[in-house]
């Protein structure tokens, strides 16, 4: 290991995971674990979909998943972990196993309700924008 790599990994919890080909993965940061967990869902969960499912701003997930930001965690870790079907302790610290026992499937009904809620919120926003545009045109 180079001195730079040793410095970069100092103080970080290392998580080893085996993929289908037994290739060893190392995840030191919250962002790495978050991105990995998002890819493990079927289908993979986008940042926008995760934000909607958890009920937080997209920018928050964007920040947490950005490897350049070095986010140490979030007050929403429990909800994020639940939405992705992983252990909150693992997501927060890298300790333990990512999945409790076996991989937990995402509750499709809850995901559907989240999508419906998000769609309603988007529709309400679009209606407000359309109304503002109409008000602006009639005022000219």
CB under 8 Å to 86, separation ≥6 — which residues? 37, 40, 98, 99
Say if pTM beats, i.e. exceeds, 0.75: no
Q: What are the pLDDT digits (tens) for 42-61?
A: 899 999 999 999 999 999 99
Q: Check: CB of residue 38 under 8 Å from CB of residue 80.
A: no
In sequence order, what are the beta bridge partners of 16? 26
Q: What are the pLDDT digits (tens) for 76-99?
A: 999 999 999 999 999 999 888 887
User: Tokens for 75?
Assistant: 């007050």
Residue 4 has pLDDT above 50, yes or no: no
Give pLDDT, residue 96: 81
**How many Å apart are CA 38 and CA 27, to the nearest integer?**
14
Q: Residue 81 burial by CB count (10 A; 0-12/13-18/19+): exposed, middle or buried?
A: buried
Q: Which single residue is written with the structure tokens 């000219």? A: 140
**How many Å apart are CA 92 and CA 1, to the nearest integer?**
26
* SS3 at position 64: helix
User: Which residue, 110, 106, 98, is CA-closest to 42?
Assistant: 106
């Amino acid at each position: 290991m180079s001195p730079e790599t040793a410095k970069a990994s100092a103080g970080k919890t290392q998580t080893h995971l085996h993929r289908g080909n037994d290739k060893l993965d190392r995840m030191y940061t919250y962002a790495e674990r978050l991105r990995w967990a998002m890819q493990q869902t079927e289908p993979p969960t986008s940042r926008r979909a995760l934000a909607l499912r958890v009920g937080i701003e997209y920018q928050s997930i964007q920040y947490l998943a950005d490897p350049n930001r070095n986010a140490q965690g979030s007050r929403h870790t429990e909800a994020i972990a639940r939405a992705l079907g992983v252990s909150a302790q693992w997501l927060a610290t890298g300790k333990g196993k990512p999945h409790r026992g076996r991989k937990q499937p995402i509750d499709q009904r809850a995901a559907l309700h989240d999508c419906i809620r998000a769609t309603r919120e988007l529709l309400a926003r679009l209606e407000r924008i359309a109304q503002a545009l109409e008000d602006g045109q009639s005022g000219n």
